[in-house]
Structure 1
């Protein structure tokens, strides 16, 4: 049984291709510097990890801490969203987009020290989260960005590929899907207003970036109570190649082929697309995405 003074830790040693694996003992030491008991959650799969997070939050802990990348974050968020449990993030993945968007220190040891200090001083920062409802009525939460266009198609293709391993799999998936690039009809509602369009890109952001620093929704602010929606009109591979370098800076939104909105609630639908949020496979469209202000008590 958990104690309300405990810090429960969900750690993914494979995050960031294992480059921070040796740091975990030091991270746990930093987290426990304030005298609280620190314990690792045991799980052999992503589904077990999520269930373990739900159990420990229901039992009552001072904080749930995710050590890993946006995938680990995504699992932990399902348990802490909308609760009074404090949440800490020690970024050690390849992307860490939610950490970057919410001011979490990029160095894992500094992030752990900041969590311990926040618990000691009894302070937290309220951060917005996005709440997704599927056609089956299931609810999922995300922290950074939901992809529902070409980027989601690339993710789906890459996940079906057994070869090559690592980032090259995504590079190949981009090449293969670029050759098949075509516009789709998107049914899009922004706070009840019809904004349907023909295009190739649709992203809903609570934070500015995804994919390890691609600022797809550069105006997104996880503390303003709103979501940022970015869509793109039909693009050929030449236009896509022209816009891609601008994603790092977020300047693609000034292009006449790109449109941005701010919204409290978004409904999006197009045939054949699986939405991806925080880099994780979510559900087939249609999806309803709402901003939940202050849904997360972030320790940093």
Structure 2
């Protein structure tokens, strides 16, 4: 089954779904293509198709489509393939998949189908009686505020959009008081941002936790304590190379479960808006099989 987001990367790669379907069919696979006008409708169509005994799900798009696939497949044993033609593509980057390369990505899918693919951990979020999954990271704080601003823009495209949104957000952002309960131990943290990550990067290549491993049975809790605007601007460029980790305001620790609480703070998971804190987050080892 092939699920296509026609608005990935603002339509620049609208033909990617047809190209992916052709590539997979040429490899001898039986492909059913699903397209809908909204993500909610597409999610319902995917879930219905999975109940009809599909063997695998391949998504065409960015991290939003990966998020859809992860939430449909985690815990089922069915594999997820990714053709990354979106804006961020952080999960695909974690897996070493070729970005913006439909033919190359489909070749990886076909090869992984033959050998069974790779088993990863997944993060499970519980909030307000709902349960959701993520493969990349949950963000709450400055980075989520940047995401909120960037998602409201139609231009520019790619990583530059997040950089410009960050510069705009700096003008009004203030440190947040969080209550963080990590593996049962609670603390009050003043912080600019907090992320709980299974993958190394967010926001199209910002390597917040460069040593994270998606199959170690742990999540990486990333905290940036209060900084001045100038200090944050000095640290920010280092995030793309992963050289920020030695800064005294940065803390990274490995955990199995985290509860995040703060007033009026929005959280994002894999670039998708989840809603206001509090959130309960836990790792589920081996919950997701990927065709990579």
Secondary structure class of the residue paired with 1:240: helix
Question: Contact 2:63–2:90 (CA<8 Å) still a contact in 1?
Answer: yes
- In 2, the alpha carbon distance for the partners of 1:270 and 1:180 equals 18
Question: Contact 1:152–1:276 (CA<8 Å) still a contact in 2?
Answer: yes
C-alpha deviation, 1:171, in angstroms: 5.4
Secondary structure class of the residue paired with 1:254: coil
Do the aligned partners of residues 280 and 246 (structure 1) sit closer, same or farther apart at CA in structure 2, a change above 3 Å counting? same
Which of these residues, 207, 210, 218, is aligned with residue 215 of structure 1? 207
Q: Structure 1 residues 22-31 or 90-99, which shifts more?
A: 22-31
Residue 126 (structure 2) aligns with: 133
Aligned pairs (5 A) from 1:76-95:
76-95=69-88
Q: Deviations over 1:280-299 (max 9, x none)?
A: 10121010111111111111
Q: Paired residues, what number?
A: 289
Name structure 2 gaps, 5 residues minimum.
none
- In 1, the alpha carbon distance for the partners of 2:260 and 2:155 equals 32
Secondary structure class of the residue paired with 1:76: helix
- In 2, the alpha carbon distance for the partners of 1:70 and 1:174 equals 19
C-alpha deviation, 1:21, in angstroms: 2.8
| TM-score, normalising length: structure 1 | 0.90
Do the aligned partners of residues 79 and 9 (structure 1) sit closer, same or farther apart at CA in structure 2, a change above 3 Å counting? same
Q: Structure 1 residues 188-197 or 209-218, which shifts more?
A: 188-197
- In 2, the alpha carbon distance for the partners of 1:43 and 1:57 equals 16
Question: Contact 1:15–1:69 (CA<8 Å) still a contact in 2?
Answer: yes
1:224 aligns with 2:216: yes
- In 2, the alpha carbon distance for the partners of 1:173 and 1:35 equals 44
- In 2, the alpha carbon distance for the partners of 1:110 and 1:157 equals 32
Residue 179 (structure 1) aligns with: 171
Secondary structure class of the residue paired with 2:40: helix
Do the aligned partners of residues 80 and 249 (structure 1) sit closer, same or farther apart at CA in structure 2, a change above 3 Å counting? same
Residue 118 (structure 1) aligns with: 112
1:74 aligns with 2:62: no
Residue 282 (structure 1) aligns with: 274
- In 2, the alpha carbon distance for the partners of 1:164 and 1:299 equals 31
User: Which aligned segments of 4 or more residues in structure 1 are displaced greater than 6 angstroms?
Assistant: none
Question: Contact 2:5–2:35 (CA<8 Å) still a contact in 1?
Answer: no
Residue 62 (structure 1) aligns with: 55
Residue 102 (structure 2) aligns with: 108
- In 1, the alpha carbon distance for the partners of 2:269 and 2:227 equals 23
RMSD of Structure 2 on Structure 1 (CA):
1.8
Question: Contact 1:144–1:207 (CA<8 Å) still a contact in 2?
Answer: yes
- In 1, the alpha carbon distance for the partners of 2:251 and 2:4 equals 38
- In 2, the alpha carbon distance for the partners of 1:279 and 1:34 equals 32
Residue 34 (structure 2) aligns with: 41
Q: Structure 1 residues 23-32 or 192-201, which shifts more?
A: 23-32
Secondary structure class of the residue paired with 1:83: coil
C-alpha deviation, 1:55, in angstroms: 1.3
Which of these residues, 179, 198, 203, is aligned with residue 206 of structure 1? 198
Residue 184 (structure 2) aligns with: 192
